[in-house]
Amino acid sequence: MKELINTESYFSILKNALDNKIPFANVRYSDGELMLLNRHQYYEEYQKAISKLIGYAHSEKENVELSNYLIRSLKECDVIGFPTERHLNRKDYFRDSINVFENKVGKSLLETKLLTSVDVYYNFLGDAKIAESQCIYLDYFEELLKDQDTVNYISCRNLDAELKAKYNIKNINSYIIAPESKFTSGYTGERHYPTQFHKIEEWIKTIPCEGNICLVGGGVISKIYNIWFKERGGISLDIGACFDLWAGKSTRGKGRGVDVIDETYKL
């Protein structure tokens, strides 16, 4: 596997795509993705883990569908967010990252595709305690989002007003999905997959994507949204739990839990 490009280099790629209105998609490959692809090695354990995370388990037919969408996403994106050496040295599922990717997605892809850190958007927040790297800017998102005419996003966090105020964005189009029940209480609406999933496929066709930043944060189910945005001319970023941080919630790392507050990056 080749070396991961650093945060500054990745940011330059994004800026070039945005400035020149070049369709672009980033997809992150983390523990949830490799667990889905490798679920037959620990099927019952995987089903329990996903049930705890989202409140229900998918049928095997749905798992196959999601696996296929994920594989397509990784093949068709421009840059993959990949586990770093720190992740690969862990004793949990991350240790199998390379083998699972090679066996399920394709060995040659790791040599031909651009790769950056799976945590690259934490790096964009500019906090070395989370990112373990140095950033030129205190907030790379400021550089990308400030004064944009239109930003589209998919997340369980409704941040329309906050994003407009923080970054002076003129138009926001959002699709609010079901939250992870492991971290958010009280949700009684539609399931993300398959109900909201197929509605989102149609919704993306109705909004202005060409040349605009599109942000996605919806776990393993949501990876294909980045490709759908790209197909419509968007510059799509798989920013994941950054939405939680912007909403003032702690869903990753130490201290995470149901409705746990963390206002460090709250918009």
Percent residues over pLDDT 70 in the chain: 94
Note the pLDDT tens digit of each residue in 251-265: 887 767 776 788 788
Half-sphere exposure of 120 (CA within 13 A, CB side): 27
What tokens were used for 258?
Answer: 């149901």
Q: In this predicted structure, what is the pLDDT of residue 60?
A: 96
What tokens were used for 25?
Answer: 């998609």
Q: Write down the residue that tokens 């070049």 correspond to.
A: 22
Note the pLDDT tens digit of each residue in 24-42: 999 999 999 999 999 999 9
Q: What is the mean pLDDT of the chain?
A: 92
| Angstrom distance (rounded) from CA 236 to CA 5 | 18
Q: In this predicted structure, what is the pLDDT of residue 264?
A: 84
- SS3 for the chain is CCCCECHHHHHHHHHHHHHCCCCEEEEECCHHHHHHHCHHHCHHHHHHHHHHHHCCCCCHHHHHHHHHHHHHHHHHCCEEEECCHHHHCCCCHHHHHHHHHHHHHHCCHHHHCEEEECCHHHHHCCCHHHHCCCCCCCCHHHHHHCCCCEEEEEECCCCHHHHHHHHCCCEEEEEECCCCCCCCCCCCCCCHHHHHHHHHHHHHCCCCCCCCEEEEECHHHHHHHHHHHHHCCCEEEECCCHHHHHCCECCCCCCCCCCCECCCCCC
The yes-or-no verdict on residue 239 having pLDDT over 90 is yes
Query: Computed over its alpha carbons, how large is the radius of gyration of the chain?
Result: 17
Note the pLDDT tens digit of each residue in 65-109: 999 999 999 999 999 999 999 988 888 888 999 999 999 999 999
Virtual CA dihedral for 19, 133, 225, 53, nearest 10 degrees? -160
Note the pLDDT tens digit of each residue in 115-134: 999 999 998 986 544 444 44
Q: In this predicted structure, what is the pLDDT of residue 139?
A: 81
Instruction: Compute φ and ψ for 153, nearest 5 degrees.
Output: -150, 155
Query: Which residues make Cβ contacts (< 8 Å) with residue 71, sequence separation at least 6?
Result: 37, 104, 105
| Angstrom distance (rounded) from CA 156 to CA 187 | 10
